[in-house]
Amino acid sequence: MLFNSLTFVVFLVIVLALYYSKILSWTSKKGMLLLASYLFYGLWNPPLVILLWISTMVDWTAGKKLAAEESQRKRKFWLLLSLFVNLGFLAFFKYRDFLLDNFTSAVNAYGYGYEAQPMDIILPMGISFYTFQTMSYTIDIYKRKIEPAHTFLDFALYVTFFPQLVAGPIVRAQDLITQFYEEKRANFNQFAWGTFLLTIGLFQKIVLADILLADTSDQVFSSTAILHGVDAWTGTLAFSGQIFFDFAGYSTCAIGIALMLGIVLPDNFKYPYASIGFSDFWRRWHITLSSWLRDYIYIPLGGNQHGITRMYAALIITMLLGGLWHGAAWTFVIWGALHGLYLIMERLLRSKIHIKINAINGIFLALLTYIMVNFTWVFFRAREFATAKNMIISMLFINGEGEKIVETFDVIKVFLLISLLFMCHWMMRNTSMKEVSLKVNPWILGVFWAFMVFLIVISQGSGEQFIYFQF
């Protein structure tokens, strides 16, 4: 089920009515939320709910055993079982064809005429999100950082909680399960703020990503021509806006819906396009994934505790895996590698040059960071290396005479919208939407809110899937 659909509107109204009705106890309400979450997922493809059940059963059992067991050998076994099942799902459903393709290419490079039969397996929506979430549960129990969930219901709801099930935020057990232990209700202001977040999330997805930016981005990235620099930049900027509004829009909806239930989810985006440097970028972009990668890959690989060389190796491995997490393709690996290299270069520069950030050099550095990030988006969006190469050449204006394919209105629309996005991120980088909302006149907020609702309604989006569902 998509947030940007009529079905979801009806679904949410029913869930809220039951949640705030007095006929259900807290345990029954959690049971209702769990059933609603399975329905939310199952209406897309019912059999794939079984994967959720398997993941839930395995990690619940592993969590209990890890907490009770004293033998290190047995504890390792339960941890490995949990990792094996979750990573096995990922490998089978997400990476099987990719691994097979690469194996076939490698074997055929030595002259074997091997032909693999692609299985065309459906990719379960959000599998990368819920497997990472449940793995963090067992790993944290293994490290004795957290206690297992009090009840199976609390754990199952943690794995399946519908607002963040298919595209995050990836929530840690200690942040979410503990909220299920006592009855939660949103007060009116929380509920109203949750509704505002849901509105702004839908506005970002339906109006800004799908209506204003997606077509231009698709047009440019599906072109096989060597493009004019302006067209290449228009397409890349359009994609940078589209992916932000699409993904941040989903996260904002998720946070808003949870808040309407009185449950607090962590922020996933903090105005990333005004980041000063790449470390700052990863503290602001997909925060729950980057902190997951930091805690469960970068630090176990040694982090910054074992010398510079190992730190850089850990950094690049983490970013490569982060790239691969997004999709089973070499273009995503290159995207991750570029970010890894950026982070290494930044650390090298920071050790040599010390700049005191002020408003003037800050905005310049933020713009520079944003431009560099845009080069990485080319690899993220392009389906083939040839497209990425052509785009980069055009963006560097190496081609004097590239083909113009984007019309004047679309160029102006994209540059205007992205400039506004950048300025908005810059102005908001040290504050939050909540803080600003409390400062502005309620009338201004109300008019802005109504304006968003109006544009969502007249857009009549065709229910486009969120980009991150495929990851």
Q: Number of residues interacting with other proteins: please give it, by CB under 8 A.
A: 50
455 part of the interface to other proteins, by CB under 8 A: yes
Restricting to residues 20-49, which ones interact with other proteins according to CB under 8 A?
42-46
| Nearest approach, Cβ of residue 285 and other proteins (Å) | 27
For residues 237 and 374, is the Cβ–Cβ distance under 8 A?
Answer: yes
Give the interface segment with other proteins, choosing from 26-34, 138-146, 301-309, 455-463 (CB under 8 A). 455-463
Which of 16, 192, 428, 433 binds other proteins (CB under 8 A)? It is 192
Nearest residue (CB) to other proteins, 219 versus 279: 219
Q: Is 357 in the site for other proteins (CB under 8 A)?
A: no
H-only helix segments in 69-151: 72-90, 96-109, 127-142
Closest residue by Cα to residue 343 from 263, 427, 279, 288: 279
Please tell me whether residue 447 binds other proteins under the rule CB under 8 A. Answer: yes
Residue 95 DSSP SS3: helix
End-to-end CA distance of the chain: 16
| Position 397 contacts other proteins (CB under 8 A) | no
List 69, 229, 463, 470, residue binding other proteins (CB under 8 A):
463
Residue 87's contacts (CB-CB under 8 Å, 6 or more residues apart) are: 131, 135
DSSP secondary structure string for all residues of 35-74: HHHHHHHHTT-GGGHHHHHHHHHHHHHHHHHHHH---HHH
CA separation for the pair 466, 206 (Å, rounded): 10
CA torsion sign for 141, 147, 153, 158 is: negative
Choice from 61, 151, 178, 195 touching other proteins (CB under 8 A) = 195
Of 71, 72, 117, 189, the one binding other proteins by CB under 8 A: 189
Binding mask 209-248 for other proteins (x = CB under 8 A): --xx--x---------------------------------
Residue 6 is a binding residue for other proteins (CB under 8 A): yes
Q: What minimum distance in Å lies between the beta carbon of 36 and other proteins? A: 13
Listed ranges 164-172, 189-197, 239-247, 350-358: which one lies at the site for other proteins (CB under 8 A):
189-197
> Site for other proteins (CB under 8 A): which residue of 88, 118, 300, 446?
446
Catalytic residue among 150, 228, 306, 326: 326
The kind and range of the H/E element at 408 are: helix 408-428
Given 3, 193, 285, 426, the residue binding other proteins (CB under 8 A)? 193
383 binds other proteins (CB under 8 A): no
Which own/partner contact pairs does 277-282 have at CB distance under 8 Å and 24+ positions apart? 277/346, 277/350, 277/365, 277/369, 278/339, 278/342, 278/343, 278/346, 278/369, 278/372, 278/373, 279/343, 279/346, 279/347, 280/369, 281/369, 281/373, 282/339, 282/343
DSSP-based three-state secondary structure for 142: helix
Q: Which of the ranges 3-11, 102-110, 126-134, 415-423 carries the binding residues for other proteins, by CB under 8 A?
A: 3-11
Of 104-112, 267-275, 310-318, 435-443: span binding other proteins (CB under 8 A): 435-443
Cα distances from 416 to residues 242, 317, 453, in angstroms, run: 14, 37, 22
Residue whose pair of structure tokens reads 């019912």 in the numeric block? 46
Segment contacting other proteins (CB under 8 A): 24-32, 193-201, 314-322, 373-381?
193-201
Does 262 bind other proteins (CB under 8 A)? Our answer is no
- DSSP β-bridge partners for residue 403: 227
Note if 326 is an active site residue: yes
Distance CA 360, CA 446 (A): 33
**Which of 183, 407, 427, 432 forms a contact with other proteins (CB under 8 A)?**
407
Q: By the criterion CB under 8 A, which residues form the site for other proteins? A: 1-2, 5-7, 10, 42-46, 188-189, 192-193, 195-196, 199, 207, 211-212, 215, 404-409, 411-413, 437-438, 442-443, 445-447, 449-451, 453-455, 457-460, 462-463
> Which residues participate in catalysis according to the annotation?
326
